[in-house]
Amino acid sequence: MGVVSSASEEEEDPNPTTTETKSEGKEENDNDVDQLVKELGKVVVTDDSEEEASKALKTCASWIKEGSVRKIIVVTGAGISVSAGIPDFRTPGTGLYDNLQKYNLPYPEAVFDLEFFAENPQPFVTLAKELWPTGLTFRPTITHCFLTLLARKELLLRVYSQNIDGLEHLAELPTEKLVECHGHFRSASCIRCKTAAPDMELIQDTIIQKAEAPVCHACKTGYIKPDIVFFGEGLPNRFHNLLSRDVKDADCCLVLGTSLMVAPVSNIPEMVNKKKCRRILINREQVGSFPSRRFASRDEMEIADCDTSVRKLAKLLGWLDELEELHAKVSKKFSKEG
């Protein structure tokens, strides 16, 4: 019988030189791998909040730590909700206005035009169905939770939000600290007779489930729309009642994620006290009058993503764990599993 060698037995190489070369090559490869493992072991994986904070954020943190800033007025725009999955309005290609072609509008802004809505409410109904703040589709971001944390630290004078997504409300920001300048979905009224809708659950169900514009129960002819401010409508009384006092009292104006293109909210950073109020812009691009000579050394800019910058600022203030815990709690509250 012949003997069959097992796989563990070495076969004689007819070329000893080749064997030595292979052996040397294997040793070199092993050494290279060992070295790579050692180098990888030195690598520390960090998130964005662990990167070096900018001078602007360090300055802002120092204002808060030293107590020179205790009444912060915040102006927010669509940029703070982008990471929640809600598109902003004006970014080319991805902005809301650029993606309204499917509604066959005469011009993008017509979706918020009162006269157009009276004739053809369907485009707004379709948009409202997508944006309605139930907490299941879109949830508050870390930036929304940072605003709530400012309120809990008794540092927040007011948030003037240009957003209609209601995420500040879902992030548990106290109602008295929030001005939703362009309205919200929590109430609705007839565009013709102005009668307030008595049953918001019915309004929500008509828009979201049936994809229809509710008809007023009082006048029987006018459409009911959520109390979102359309072009041509005045801003809520709450805006006018609080703003004149707030801009006098504020010692810091924080501008977050906005193009500062829509008046009168865009004017707020110019209305604060130029002799005492500090200003900081956190945005992906430079906007408004930032930096302004009129505010001298009291202007700071962080041209970056809002969520990343807010995490860095929270870390500088020693609030990061508290912020992440709040964000996790709010997210779980609105999760399907939570």
Higher pLDDT, residue 103 or 325: 325
Name the pTM for this structure. 0.80
**pLDDT tens profile 278-319:** 999 999 999 988 987 777 778 999 999 999 999 999 999 999
Residues 197, 201, 183, 134: what is their CA dihedral angle, to the nearest 10 degrees? Answer: 180
Residue 172 contacts by C-beta under 8 Å, 6 or more apart in sequence? 148, 330
Q: Locate tokens 């309005």: which residue? A: 89
Q: What is the pLDDT of residue 95?
A: 62
- For 69-97, the DSSP string reads ---EEEEE-GGGTGGGT---SSSTTTSTG
Phi then psi for residue 303, to 5 deg, are -85, 90
Q: Degrees (nearest 5) of the Cα angle 168, 255, 287?
A: 130
* Residues 5-23, mean pLDDT to the nearest whole number: 38
Q: Degrees (nearest 5) of the Cα angle 271, 276, 279?
A: 60
Q: What are the tokens at 111?
A: 């979706």
Phi then psi for residue 256, to 5 deg, are -125, 120
Phi then psi for residue 31, to 5 deg, are -65, -40
Residues constituting the chain: 338
**Residues labelled catalytic:** 182
Among 18-22, 84-88, 304-308, which range has the highest average pLDDT? 304-308
CA distance 310 to 327: 12
Q: What are the tokens at 55?
A: 């001078």
How many Cα atoms are found within 13 Å in the side-chain-facing hemisphere of 58?
5
Among 24-33, 105-114, 261-270, which range has the highest average pLDDT? 261-270
Q: What is the pLDDT of residue 268?
A: 97
> Is the pLDDT reported for residue 97 higher than 60?
yes
**pLDDT tens profile 158-184:** 999 999 999 999 999 999 999 999 999
CA distance 118 to 112: 11
**pLDDT tens profile 182-225:** 999 999 999 999 999 999 999 999 999 999 999 999 999 999 99
